[in-house]
Amino acid sequence: MADDAAVQAANAALYLAFETADVDAMERAWDDVEPDCVVCVHPGWPMLRGRGPVLRSWSAVMAGTAYEQFFLTDVQVAVEGDTAVVTCTENVLTSADVAENASAVATNVFRRRADGWRLQVHHASPVLGRLVDG
């Protein structure tokens, strides 16, 4: 359970970095031991690879985003060895003048490093409609 708590904290730090547009915190959130293995999918985007391109994308996204607050729900943490997989629903409240707030789902893969859990994969995707055929 100690692992779970540490992973949950690392996961929360990612969203806090985004909320506060903190570029330094965003850099700390992501793994720098295997920079080529860093992968990020923003909702609706193609896959970005490599720590450099991924961090640049976050800088662009944060610069272009009005204030957003995330309420994470349905958070599940699965730790196996030095890998942790977090799956969750991102409920986003924005300051933009939109009729309804957005929902996305995310898979975040963390690696245990000497200085803690660092993000290797962030895959977020839009929830576009109701569940069909389920």
Site residues (CB under 8 A) for a second copy, limited to 20-39: 34, 37, 39
Closest CA to 14 of 67, 74, 55: 55
Site residues (CB under 8 A) for a second copy, limited to 91-120: 103, 105, 107, 109, 111, 120
The span from the CA of 48 to the CA of 32, in Å, is: 16
Q: Minimum distance between the CB of residue 117 and a second copy, rounded to whole angstroms? A: 13
Choose the binding region for a second copy from 6-14, 17-25, 50-58, 93-101 (rule: CB under 8 A): 50-58
Q: Going by C-beta distance under 8 Å and a sequence separation of 6 or more, which residues neighbour residue 131? A: none
Residue choice 5, 82, 93, 95 for contact with a second copy (CB under 8 A): 82
Instruction: Report CA-CA distances (Å) from 56 to 5, 27, 53, 59, 94.
Output: 29, 10, 5, 5, 22
Q: Is the dihedral of CA 83, 84, 90, 93 positive or negative?
A: negative
User: Site residues (CB under 8 A) for a second copy?
Assistant: 34, 37, 39, 41, 43-49, 53, 56-57, 60-61, 63-64, 74, 76, 78, 80-83, 85, 87-89, 103, 105, 107, 109, 111, 120-121, 123-129, 131, 133-134
